[in-house]
Structure 1
Amino acid sequence: MLRLFHTADWHLGHNLHGISRHLEHQLFLDWLLLELQNKQADALIVAGDIFDSANPSAAAQTQLYDFLVKARTQQPALNIVLIGGNHDSASRLDAPSSILDALGVTVVGGLVRDDGVINWDRLLVPLSNAAGDSKVWCGAMPFLRNADLRADDQEDEPLIAGVKALYTELFTALQAKATQGEALILTGHCYMVNGCVSELSERKILGGNQHALPVELFPKDIAYVALGHLHLAQKVGANEHIRYSGSPIPLSFDESHYQHQVLQVDIKKDQPVETVAIKIPRSIDLLRIPNSKDFAALSTVLEQLEAMDFNDDLPPEQRPLVELRIKLEKPEPGLRQQVEEVIAKLPVRLLKISTAYSGSNKSLADITIEERLEELQPLDVFQRCYQNKFDQEAPENMNTLFNELLENFRAKQ
């Protein structure tokens, strides 16, 4: 048997409305080290979006490399595989690969071509258990950018066809490496058909949401597929062996209502894989009041806030982060002052005040929520600019071209 831990979407270096998540990430990584050791894991796969941006801070990079050194020091036989995601810079991840290889860590930031031919060997990773009597071959496919695909214009869905062609080549290379009885697994950082997305999960990563990938992408002989990109842990359709692990911490208030996890995957010869969700303890609470996407009057919101039972003994850096969602009939110049007078008495940190104006003749369906620029994805900004200038929605081919331009820009960072 080989025991694999599957996680993804760490987003090291993430900030939420100006608040660093460094402490939460560090507490998660410390917890993960203990779980790897206590559960006697043989391998760890991180399925993309290691960092929150293509140009991560020195602190975020140090956090990653410190973890890798500690993991390999406490478990010298632990196999570690990292793949690049759409938030990562492929070249930045790949840059220290020779050093990390010596440490026993495999990094595949992006596809590399030698004279136009993809170097598949660097994506073929043998995984063994501590006893050396169980071997699994991993096809470490990173996030695929438009430049990686050989789109055939004759196909109805050329981008999907391009992705499928690459996975077919990888699978063929895996089969050539594996001997009889050795299990095969794949990784991916992508959006699958019917995947449940969250606020920060970028669904338009292959030129448009219509290009969500079908489950037929993965051959039936694959024992397990470790996916990243969607922040909510979920299986793909009814397939128990094709899964998103989800992110380890909530990256927005929209992601705070469910339990985050890593997946323990036990791979046994000639048997279906067994998966166990290991719940990650929440180190810092994210509280949305009201506890839904609804808005409420200021008095109601403050009453709910004051009625909550908070831990007064928490250090300031671990106090809950709070978003208040307040419905107003008209602008209230003294709103923040009223809120801060209440907040000052409580062991919480006010992160955001969201306001909505219902108006005397508007229903809740007509409420317009104020949004901050940093909460919008680049495509959202482009679409709004197009709408303002031309008084109509941007056509789909324009959205696709914008996505391609953005991906090319990120690939060069």
Structure 2
Amino acid sequence: MHLIHTSDWHLGHHLHGVNREYEHRRFLEWLMNTIEDQRADALLIAGDVFDSANPPAAAQALYYRFLAEARHRFPSLDLVVIGGNHDSASRLDAPKPLLRHFNIHVMGSVARTPQGQLDLDQLLVPLRNGDNDVAAWCAAVPFLRPADLPRMGQTENWLERGVGQVYGEVFAALEQRRQPGQALIATGHAYMTGGELSELSERKIQVGNQHALPVAIFPERASYTALGHLHKAQRVGGRDNVRYSGSPLPLSLDEAGYLHQVLLVSLDGERCREIKPLPVPRAVDIIRIPKGRGDKTLDEVLAELRELPERGADLPPEQYPFLEVTVFLPQPEPGLRKQIEEALADKAVRLLKIRTRYPKPTSTLADTAESIDLAQLEPEEVFARKYRSQFDDEPPKAMRQAFHELLEATLMER
């Protein structure tokens, strides 16, 4: 049996104000062809289908068009979609009765019976192989919010205990339903202990690193665990069969060097035989100038910009590469953006971000306000700039974690 694991599509995402619809459309076309090429029996989408709880109509159209085409082209394909922290659980769940009729299993929120018990008939999804035999059972558990967890009070490790209890009940029910030789597949959308963040494009799902979940909540007997939330593809806790697939598109310019992928999981009975990364072709490139050392002067940077390819009829604007420019300045340069834009007037690129570096720390952000457009900076970068301006050093890891806690708490209050 062959499964494809993907997550964190973030349909509707904008990168520094630029719509990503073209890139998402190209990815979904590639994914559709990959399902056919790999003869996949099931597709697992592990959360964050959308970038926000209220996605634009175009993003929703991409999602439903993909589901419809997948069902038309692959009548026997099992599709399992779980909600992530960016998704609106109710929005994903609204068409659930209709989609289930077409063997598309969507779990935006934790399903419960009228008595408040876990609705295991919805959370447990049988997966069939090419012979139409049930070859695996999937625990389709979406992102777990505090309201989804058993009441335990704000005691130490309440989150870990609550999540563990939900998964424990689901896995126990799976063991009762599956027959010998059938694989056990788990899903989850969570921040796991030891997971490596993409600092500028994602936030922790809970406040602080102390609420990261241990890999032990997924039993060793699980054949494969398909995770979503972190944008870097990675294994968890030293267990090769517990994986984040990562996002299929770079969600910040700092992800330019990532190998974005989906994962092809091959099962032999209960055994996970192989996990193969399938690199996602990049529909729009990311260019970062200067190339090589990062302390080039404005004149050197402008010279590199003038060497970029000219616009031509063979490349439509939606395919122009994204551009990030870093300039080393002896002092603030008020006309910096104008000079860069003039050098790019006829170039086939889209300027998204200008970074500036200085030989000496400045006392405050206000001192360099002339050359900084705060709207173009992520909160993480504003914090790092402020720290460097006062201490002439990079913020230590503990300080960054404290900053993430404050940022998440602020965003949760909005």
Normalised by the size of structure 1, how large is the TM-score?
0.86
Native 8 Å contact 1:323 1:350 kept in 2? yes
Name the structure 2 match of 1:209: 209
Structure 1 residues 75 and 352: CA distance shift in structure 2, 3 A:
same
Report deviation, 1:405.
8.4
| Structure 1 segment 15-94 matched on structure 2, within 5 A | 15-94=14-93
2:89 is matched by which residue type in structure 1?
Answer: A
- 1:163 and 1:375 map into 2 onto residues whose CA distance is 35
Native 8 Å contact 1:147 1:408 kept in 2? no
- 1:353 and 1:405 map into 2 onto residues whose CA distance is 27
Name the structure 1 match of 2:101: 102
- 1:211 and 1:147 map into 2 onto residues whose CA distance is 16
Identity %: 47
Indicate yes or no: 2:87 matched with 1:119: no
Indicate yes or no: 2:224 matched with 1:234: no
Native 8 Å contact 1:8 1:248 kept in 2? yes
Superposed CA offset, 1:245-277 (max 9, x none): 011110110111122111000111143331111
Report deviation, 1:289.
1.7
| Structure 1 segment 260-409 matched on structure 2, within 5 A | 260-290=260-290, 294=294, 296-308=296-308, 312=312, 313-359=314-360, 370=372, 372-373=374-375, 376=378
Native 8 Å contact 2:53 2:86 kept in 1? yes
- Look up the SS of the partner of 2:44 in the other structure: strand
| Structure 1 segment 136-285 matched on structure 2, within 5 A | 136-150=136-150, 152-153=152-153, 156-285=156-285
- Look up the SS of the partner of 1:118 in the other structure: coil
Report deviation, 1:305.
3.0
Report deviation, 1:102.
1.5
Native 8 Å contact 2:183 2:271 kept in 1? no
Native 8 Å contact 1:151 1:161 kept in 2? no
Structure 1 residues 361 and 398: CA distance shift in structure 2, 3 A:
closer
Structure 1 residues 256 and 149: CA distance shift in structure 2, 3 A:
same
Native 8 Å contact 2:309 2:347 kept in 1? no
1:107 is matched by which residue type in structure 2?
Answer: V
Structure 1 residues 209 and 371: CA distance shift in structure 2, 3 A:
farther
Structure 1 residues 374 and 348: CA distance shift in structure 2, 3 A:
closer
Report deviation, 1:333.
2.0
Native 8 Å contact 1:235 1:244 kept in 2? yes
Indicate yes or no: 2:6 matched with 1:7: yes
- Look up the SS of the partner of 2:162 in the other structure: helix
Q: Which runs of 5+ in 2 are unaligned?
A: 387-397
- Look up the SS of the partner of 2:61 in the other structure: helix
Native 8 Å contact 2:138 2:185 kept in 1? yes
Calculate the aligned-residue CA RMSD, in Å. Answer: 3.1
Structure 1 residues 123 and 176: CA distance shift in structure 2, 3 A:
same
Superposed CA offset, 1:320-374 (max 9, x none): 1101112323222221221112111321111122224444889xxxx99957457
Native 8 Å contact 2:41 2:130 kept in 1? yes
1:46 is matched by which residue type in structure 2?
Answer: I
- Look up the SS of the partner of 1:266 in the other structure: strand
Native 8 Å contact 1:264 1:276 kept in 2? yes
1:24 is matched by which residue type in structure 2?
Answer: E
- Look up the SS of the partner of 2:45 in the other structure: strand
Report deviation, 1:308.
4.9
Report deviation, 1:200.
4.5
- 2:90 and 2:42 map into 1 onto residues whose CA distance is 24
Structure 1 residues 109 and 346: CA distance shift in structure 2, 3 A:
same
Superposed CA offset, 1:36-78 (max 9, x none): 0111111000100000000001110000000000111010001
1:261 is matched by which residue type in structure 2?
Answer: Q
Native 8 Å contact 1:241 1:273 kept in 2? no
Superposed CA offset, 1:208-229 (max 9, x none): 2211111111111100000001
- 1:199 and 1:402 map into 2 onto residues whose CA distance is 13
Structure 1, 53-62 or 97-106: larger mean CA deviation: 97-106
Name the structure 2 match of 1:389: none
- Look up the SS of the partner of 2:272 in the other structure: coil
Report deviation, 1:149.
2.0
Name the structure 1 match of 2:394: none
Count of equivalent residues: 392
- 1:336 and 1:201 map into 2 onto residues whose CA distance is 24
- 2:118 and 2:293 map into 1 onto residues whose CA distance is 46
Superposed CA offset, 1:122-143 (max 9, x none): 1111110121135110001101
- 2:410 and 2:168 map into 1 onto residues whose CA distance is 27
